[in-house]
Amino acid sequence: MAAGPSATIGRSVIVRVPATSANLGPGFDTLGLALSLYDELHVTATDDADVIVEVHGIGEGEVPTDESNLVVRAIASAFAFYGQPLPGLRLVANNVIPHGRGLGSSGAAIVSGIMAAKGLLAGIVDIDAEALLALATAMEGHPDNVAPALFGGLTIAWVTPEGPQHKKLMVHRGVSPLVFVPEHTMSTSLARSLQPESVPHADAIFNVSRSALLVAALIQSPELLLAATEDKLHQNYRASAMPETNRLVTMLREHGHAAVVSGAGPSILVLSDDPSARLAAADLVAEHAETPWSPLMLAVDFKGATVVPHSVQSPLSS
């Protein structure tokens, strides 16, 4: 039986969700990494039917501030799935994850909404990790884009007849991520449209070997990251849509840096096994880039998304 509206009215939660980088080179639609760059969301359930959304930072003045807002849609989806009446909502979003640049901004918005629903429904409905991933994947379409945002660290995601699954792995402390963010954006749907329906058998074998090696490199042997991030399944096919991304990735790799396209691009992820190597990579891009790119010296996020009741300090983790 659904609880009455009064069960959630007056509740307030704070949600924090990390940026992510999917694919990581060879791990197309499978591997993802959570990064220490966070969107924060404040959500309050109110006793009216209104939805009020304030957006600060990235997306301010651009993203919808009504029921069509992606975060609101994710909250509504979770409430509907569990048969709970949706209260009025007041959202304040403080966004820092760049939009349209391959750092998981849409996945973060979806995860923010699902986690907000988890917090608002605490004690009424128990939304466990499996349900969180299923709800987020149903909206996003690909579990590799939401699994690292939900759970942190390095995630392997796959789909079974029972639904999406994931395995979280802890990344070696020697891995130092660096992200280069351009001023221009890239459409994920456009990037996917450039993928062929089939690939050569040899390329498939190549990527299977590199994906396996990449897991080992990230959790145990960072010195193998350059070889482990080689790819023949997706980056070359998308190169024509992101010429400068492709040129800079090629240049960085020629200088020994494990550079890949972050998600659908156009941002670039460099996985270093030495923090000082990140500085060298940043210098190379500053010297050779034809347009402005912002270097972000980040860490791997190991916690994933959290939701905290407004007056309580300890988080209800995913």
Binding site for ATP, by residue number, is: 98-108
The helix/strand/coil state of 7 is: helix
Q: Binding site: residue ranges?
A: 98-108
Q: What is the distance between the alpha carbons of residues 120 and 309, in angstroms, rounded to a whole number?
A: 8
- Rama region for 183: left / alpha / beta (φ>0; ψ in -120 to 50; rest): alpha
Q: What is the distance between the alpha carbons of residues 8 and 85, in angstroms, rounded to a whole number?
A: 9
Classify residue 239 by burial, with Cβ atoms within 10 Å: 0-12, 13-18, 19+.
middle
* In the chain, beta strands by DSSP E: 12-22, 31-46, 51-57, 88-95, 154-160, 163-169, 176-182, 259-261, 268-272, 293-297, 306-309, 316-317
Asked if residue 214 lies in contact with residue 25, where contact means CB atoms within 8 angstroms, the answer is yes
Q: What is the distance between the alpha carbons of residues 180 and 184, in angstroms, rounded to a whole number?
A: 12
